Amino acid sequence: HRRFDYRPKTDPYCQARYTFCPTGSAIPVMKEEDAIEVYRLQAPVWEFKYGDLLGHLKIMHDAVGFKSSLTGKNYTMEWYELFQLGNCTFPHLRPGMDAPFWCNQGAACFYEGIDDAHWKANGTLVLVTTISGTMFNEMAQWVKHDNETGIYYETWTVQASPDKKSTVWFDSYECSKFILRTYQKLADLGAVFKKIQTNYTSIILFSGEPLYLGNETSIFGPQGNKTLAAAIRDFYDPFKPHQSVREFFVDLFKIIDRVILNHQFYLFYNLEYWFLPMKSPYLKIIYEEVPLPVGSKASFGV
């Protein structure tokens, strides 16, 4: 996943249905001698709206919790879409604009408190490690950098086949990937994680080798490829980003229908368009184990 130099200003056209990070606060500086418990948090996506519906599909949202032993305060940190999932997955086709218009950014949100009931009811709230205040403060610096340079949400993982060792053409970049990066950073700083099973959701498309098509200018600009531009617009036409979760799933099934019938998918990734020659089983939602990390320092007994 490409890193960017800075986060672009958001276009006023992009409106969120729910405010991003409404009670967010700055990450506090912890006392070096503090012992901070780190919790793995996981619950079904959109649980606040649809209850456990997506828990049965194993479409989960991940976060990380912290508890300071010196102050007794709890904190939650998560990474999610600024304009909701539909906007990160599908573009808007705006009148008078040739190119599809994307409202796609994701970012970290940090706030005081852990909503125990939310994470425990249908999900997970489990202690995974304890770190020092120093490690927490170093992690906070890393979060700032990660947040400024990794700015686009990517819903899909694209790989060659369901085989575990198959080629991954494109990796997703969403809430769970941020949590995995955070754990890895803590492990590299010396955190030792408990031996517990940790599973994560991936939405995977299966494709032959992707074909690079170009960027917005080369396809939709004055010297662009009119036929290709029309094909991409046509592909995205049924999918409406501003929508309810139910409509999102209706569109998801429309996509699957097109993808299976026509064996094609147009992917927008790191500001570039790719053609995916789709192949069976086309799309899968999987919930699989990703072990907690072992740090580079731990192996040297530090």
Q: Give the 3-state secondary structure of 93-143.
A: CCCCCCCCECCCCEEEEEEECCCHHHHHHHCEEEEEEEEEHHHHHHHHHHH
CB atoms within 10 A of CB 188: 18
Sheet with 60-68, side-by-side order of all strands: 106-112, 74-81, 60-68, 35-44, 124-132
Closest CA to 180 of 198, 164, 195: 198
Query: Hey, what amino acid is at 133?
Result: G
Catalytic site positions: 61, 175
Please give the sequence-ordered ranges of beta strands (E in DSSP) within 46-112, or none if there are none: 60-68, 74-81, 106-112
Task: Specify whether the CB–CB gap between 146 and 7 falls below 8 A.
Answer: no
162: helix, strand or coil: coil
Radius of gyration, alpha carbons of the chain? 20
